[in-house]
Amino acid sequence: MVGNKNIIVVEDDPGLLQLISRNLERSGFQPRCVLLGSQAILEAKKDPDCLLLLDYKLPDMTAQDVMETLSKGGRPVPFIIMTGHGDEKIAVQMMKLGAMDYVVKDSRFLEVLPQVVGRACRELNSERVLAETEARLQEFRRVLFTLMSHLPGMAYRGDNDPDRTMNFVSGGAQDLTGYRPVDLTGGNRTAFMSLVHEDDRELVYNSIQTALVEKRPFEVEYRIRCAHGDDKWVWDKGSGVFSSDGELQGIEGFITDITERKKAEEALAESEEKYRRIIETANEGVIIADIARGAITFANRKMSQISGYSRDELTGRRVLELIPGEIGRVRSRLEERKRGLSGQYELSYLRPDGSQGWAIINASPVLDRDGNHISSLVMVTDITLRKNAEIELTRARDELEERVRERTLDLERTNQELAREILDHKQAQEALRRSESALRLLLDQMPCILWTTDRELKVTSVLGTGLAALNQAPNRLVGMDLLDYGLKREPAYPMVTAHKQGLSGKAISIESDMAGRTFHCHIEPLRDIKGEIIGVIGAGLDITERKQAESELRALSNRVVDAQETERRSIAHELHDQIGQSLTALKLSLERSLYGSGEDIQSASINALAVVNELMKRVRDLSLDLRPSMLDDLGLLPALLWLFERYTDQTQVRVEFEHAGLNMVFPPDISTAAYRIVQEALTNVARYAHVDEVMVRAWSDQEVLAVVVEDKGIGFDVREALSGRSLGLSGMRERAFQTGGKLTIDSSPGKGVRLVAELPLCRICEEGMRIDHDIHSLGR
């Protein structure tokens, strides 16, 4: 853009050049002045947007030479010719060559010159603004064309005639209709209204005309027939184009394909109708309750029959009005629903006639697309008849309890005999503890070994009478590496691991077998006077005789447990027979009610029989699932062995059992959790796996008791099972969690099941309890 600083004056007369410059400056211009044509060429090349005020005759060349030289650069430079009086012909020739104007150097030259320069600058600025506007307009058209070509549909402009004649359609018309844009414009081949389905044409026309009369945008959905014969649903949105005086000039809008959306809507409507029919014909009551107010928004026909209210009476009624005696429980359940939890529970309800009924409630949350809980879906099963049958069962149970009290006296006498046997067992344990105390007092006379090592685990001293049992002399071992003394070079070997832990500042107790003798070893860090660890100090006590005594004690305990189990089994059988007789009598009594009159009596009797059968099954299962006392008396390993033997006899499924480190004494909660997890896992194998063999592995170390149950059965979807109502899996997970451990289940359909329970034993190490020497077999 030519401005006040872009004017170059070329004049070979210095005096005149100075006058021209001052005159232009007074008019607000800031010209640059040169004397030669070559200088003008250099200045013009530096500033191609300049305006040359060019004298025709110059010392080194003419104005024509200057402009021809500059034109070789490709871009013309605007210029004004200054000529002497009588050179008008030359000026006319230069005008033909592109000069914007010419000025004759006469008496009015300096007066006219600023006006000529100003006019030329304004013309140049106007031309450049126009050129820039043209360029922006072309770019806008290009961008608009690109955008419209990539729209998922067709943009258009047309006339408001019955055929909807199109004056313009975008490139998306071919993808949408199968016709080229040229085929749809100006009525060349196909009028657009002819594509509209004949059943929708009146709707389309009326919708557009109504919107045009009201001068508002229109929006309409309809069907079109494409070039290939297929029908599509489209969404058409547009508006009229009006002149400043309100005259309609045309219609502009956009049309896009909504066929897939329409199909989805139709499928959704069909699905809703199908599920509505299912709910209406369901044999259970179904209601939907607003989570905000607890008001019923939907109830099916069965719910009306159960509650005694019509469907209109139920709609809008709050759930709490139906269950006045259960308000506290239901409010707590509603809070669970708001947190997205599902559940099943029983509650009583009140009918309009004042009678009371009972129902089982299954409630699930209903979420919106954002995952917010907006309402609850409630399934209602009427159990009033079952509850009435339970009243009869309660009477029978009272009679049964009286008989149980009679048998309790016999049980107490048996318990007294068992208590005497347990007392003898405890006395034997106390005698063993007194013997161990006496042995500690005589430590100097007992076969023990004391030793120290440096940080490289080389023996620095060793003494004790226990060396004689190993056929070793004290001096022979000094200087030897701990690993050189007949120990395996395995990182997990207990003695090596214990010494390394001693170097790290920990104290640990461990049992080790050497030369056929068993030593109880205690290993601690050896520190200097500054408290820095310089090695390890250890003490080993020969406990071979104590181990033999423990073996004898376990044999005695086995006999005690056998006696206990025999008596308990007898009691369980008797209790089972008594309960079975009472329930059988009740069953016969209910069967007789089948011969009464009326369908209600027959239905009640059938339901009562089902309840009785289920109760009989549970009583039998209860008698078989008594807790084995050997879990408390002998420990986990004997209890598991007994469980596997009984399991195989009952299910014909073999149990392959591998174990290591289970001879130690576990805390009651750890052993109970491990036993119940194995028991439940085996039960699941027998029920679902369809195999004749199952693998069980169990081991313990300083930190954890681990149990693995694995089968090669049909497997299952773990995520689906855990997210459902599997009480067995949930119970196992809860038992592991209560001990601070974890339960891992690896399975998939057709790939079998691998269950791993890890129960922490860190507290065992902290209390200094023994760690079994068999720990080195871990991982085999």
Checking DSSP bridges between strand 51-55 and strand 79-83, what pairing results, if any?
A: parallel
Residue 495 has pLDDT above 50, yes or no: yes
Q: How many CB atoms lie within 10 A of CB 764?
A: 21
What average pLDDT score do residues 478-503 get?
70
- pLDDT category at 556 given cuts 50, 70, 90 is very low
Residue 754 — very low, low, confident or very high, per pLDDT cuts 50/70/90? very high
**Burial annotation 4-32 (CB, 10 A radius, 16+ → b, else e):** eebbbbbbeeeebbeebbebbeeeebebb
Please say whether the beta carbons of 70 and 45 come within 8 A: yes
The whole-angstrom separation of Cα 724 and Cα 745 is: 15
Q: pLDDT category, 238, cuts 50, 70, 90?
A: very high
Q: Lowest-confidence range among 37-41, 346-350, 584-588? A: 584-588
Q: Each residue of 636-663: pLDDT tens digit? A: 898 899 889 989 998 999 999 999 988 8
**Secondary structure letter of residue 325 according to DSSP:** G
Give the per-residue pLDDT at 120: 87
Q: How far apart are CA 743 and CA 10, in angstroms?
A: 97
Q: What pLDDT shows up at residue 735?
A: 86
pLDDT computed for residue 480 by the predictor:
79
Closest to 238 (Cα-Cα) out of 190, 139, 185, 166: 166
Cα–Cα dist 512/439, whole Å: 19
Of these ranges, 307-321, 425-439, 621-635, 638-652, the one predicted with the greatest mean pLDDT is 638-652
Determine contact, residues 101/92, Cβ cutoff 8 Å: no
Tell whether the model's pLDDT for residue 214 goes beyond 80: yes
By CB atoms closer than 10 A (0-12, 13-18, 19+), residue 474 is middle
**Could you tell me where the DSSP H helices lie in 442-543?**
466-469, 474-477, 494-503
pLDDT at 199: 93
779 sits in the region (left: phi over 0; alpha: psi -120 to 50; else beta) called left
Amino acid identity, residue 561? V
Residue 325 has a pLDDT of 67
Most confident of 4-8, 234-238, 400-404: 234-238
Per-residue model confidence (pLDDT) at position 602: 63
Coil, strand, or helix at residue 751?
coil
CA dist 403 and 562 (Å) reads 27
383 exposed, middle or buried (CB, 10 Å; 0-12, 13-18, 19+)?
Answer: middle
Q: What is the pLDDT of residue 626?
A: 54
Does residue 288 have a pLDDT over 70?
Answer: yes
Q: Which residues of 727-750 are buried (b: 16+ CB within 10 A; e: fewer)?
A: eebeebbebbeebebebebebeee
3-state secondary structure of 57: strand
Task: Using the predicted structure, report yes or no on whether residue 7 has a pLDDT greater than 70.
Answer: yes
Pick the range with the lowest mean pLDDT from 128-137, 517-526, 582-591, 749-758. Answer: 582-591
The answer to whether the beta carbons of residues 659 and 698 sit under 8 Å apart is: yes
Identify which of 74-88, 191-205, 306-320 has the greatest average pLDDT. 191-205
Band (696; pLDDT cuts 50, 70, 90): very high
Q: How confident is the model at residue 767 (pLDDT cuts 50, 70, 90)?
A: very low
Point out the least confidently predicted range of 539-553, 559-573, 607-621, 731-745: 559-573
User: Among 683, 661, 662, which residue's Cα sits nearest to residue 777?
Assistant: 661
Rounded Cα distance, 259 and 232, in Å: 6
Q: Which residue has the higher pLDDT, 141 or 542?
A: 542
The tokens of 216 are what?
């508002």
Mean of the pLDDT values across residues 311-324?
Answer: 78
Tell me phi and psi for residue 470, to 5 degrees: -95, 5
Helices 544-592 and 599-624: angle between axes, nearest 10 degrees: 170
Instruction: List, for residues 341-391, the tens digit of each pLDDT value.
Output: 556 777 788 888 878 888 887 777 777 777 777 777 788 888 888 877 877
Q: Looking at per-residue confidence, does 204 or 595 come out higher? A: 204
Q: Is 98 helix (H, G, I), strand (E, B) or coil?
A: coil
**Distances from the Cα of 545 to the Cα of 21, 513, 515, 517, angstroms:** 127, 13, 15, 9
Confidence (pLDDT) at 446: 57
Q: What is the pLDDT of residue 443?
A: 46
CA distances from 598 to 586, 593, 602 (A): 21, 10, 7
Q: Which two tokens stand for residue 669?
A: 């909660």
What are the respective helix, strand and coil percentages of the chain, to the nearest 5? 50, 25, 25
* Most confident of the ranges 262-271, 331-340, 670-679: 670-679
Confidence class of residue 49 from pLDDT cuts 50, 70 and 90? confident
* Beta-bridge partner residues of 62: 57
| Average pLDDT of the chain to the nearest whole number | 78
Give the E-state strand segments of 280-372 in sequence order: 285-290, 296-299, 343-350, 356-367
122-131, 252-261, 653-662: the lowest-pLDDT one: 122-131
What's the confidence (pLDDT) of residue 776? 31
Higher pLDDT residue, 571 or 6? 6
Q: State the DSSP H helix or E strand holding residue 277, giving kind and residue range, or none if neither.
A: helix 259-281
Q: Give strand pairing partners of 253.
A: 156, 238
Mean pLDDT (whole number) for 271-276: 77
pLDDT for res 621 = 54
- The Cα–Cα gap between 278 and 315 comes to 19
Task: With residue 743 as reference, give the H or E element that holds it.
Answer: strand 742-747
**pLDDT of 510 strictly over 90:** no
**CA dist., res. 221 & res. 237, Å (int):** 9
Neighbours of 523 (CB within 10 A): 25
For residue 551, the model assigns a pLDDT of: 64
pLDDT of the residue at 174? 85
Q: In the numeric block, which tokens belong to residue 257?
A: 């394909």
